[in-house]
Structure 1
Amino acid sequence: MLTLSCFTDEAGEQNMDAGYYMATLVFHDQSKRFERFIDSYVARLQLEDLHDIPFHSVDLLHGHEDYEGLSVEKRKRLLVAFSMFVRTLPISYHTFFYDKAFFKNSDQLQSQLRKDIVDFIFDRLEKFQTFDQVAIYYDGGQEAVTAALHDAFDYALARNAAVYKSLSHQDKRLAQAADYLCTIELAEKRYATENVSLTY
């Protein structure tokens, strides 16, 4: 059975308090193994005397949680190492960005996100249909994303083609890649609009 994995991460809040909202979808054909890339990443960390900390962009940038007490220099090295790891992975991704000026509430955001995901799938329907199923991995962090993902994939794909799964240990690496890519896309948006902060 051919399975396409989809991992999602978001930035901003669904109530638009941050002035924006964005969601990044990362896709991985499960027939393309990536264990060797994980092994290379872990080996590089060991070579540089760095701990294999589960990647979380906000905590890394601000030195919180597992990154607390690490120097800025070490956190930069961890970021570079993870960036190089992501670039080796057999994945593709797409980011949806929304500006507060165009949305009055979270219901409007959810509706637009659903529409955009449906359009994204239909534009690539032939590719999606080469897979027997699409496995959706999401931690359910924000209701708008959860509802939009379920509605969009269930609507656009054949009945029972989309399945919803919890993350395994190996899958978590790809979820972390979604976190990284969402953060990079946000940084690019901020630089493009000259709306940078101390961490971007």
Structure 2
Amino acid sequence: MAGAQSHARFLLQRIAEEAQHATELDDPLEQAHVIATLLQPYSGWALREAVLDCRDAGAQWSKIAPEVGLSQAVLSRQVRGTGPVVTIAPRYSTSQDNLDAQTPLRLAATSLAQRMTALAAHGAGAPTAEHLYIAVMAMTQAQATLHVALILRTIEEVLRIADGIEQAHGPAAAALTEAERGVWAGICELRTAYERDHGAIRMTAELDAVSAGEGPR
């Protein structure tokens, strides 16, 4: 089903059109309406169609599931149902074994790690990789823990090093490789998500710890 006849492609084009429309709106309430009523629903349906395209092309559940971040059982159950495929269940709760769930902060950290891994594979000697690789990998390892302070601390270290590089060398995008520019775009995304989310994550963790009779983690 890949190609012009793919319904997933049609839905992706629709998402792109609505996303462009949303960026042109000045009223955040109107933006929220477009995101809630069009972008999120369309994304779930587009993912469903893309998964069906993969199945039609002969891909096994075991190959598709890791790419979308779901277990084989959950993915196949959703696709065999009648609704969209949903991969994000945002919540701030230690009871869910994932303090910040798939929030923009975690997603940004994951995206940056993937970009850094790609850079290291093809340009390990690049200045960006030399300065940031270890810190980004430490951040990635912290994402697997429930220790909020560690998660935030490793993110802050990545941003601190990035700030130091920018202050020392200034913007020199023209001298960067495409992979390096991708890493810096990922850092920008991480910084934006961190500035917005870190306070809520830290506060919720502290409240959960107090409720459980523990000190802040």
TM (normalized to structure 2)? 0.24
Structure index of larger Rg: 2
Instruction: Name the one with the larger strand percent.
Output: 1
TM (normalized to structure 1)? 0.25
Instruction: Name the one with the larger helix percent.
Output: 2
Q: Which has the higher contact order (CA 8 A, sep 6+)?
A: 1
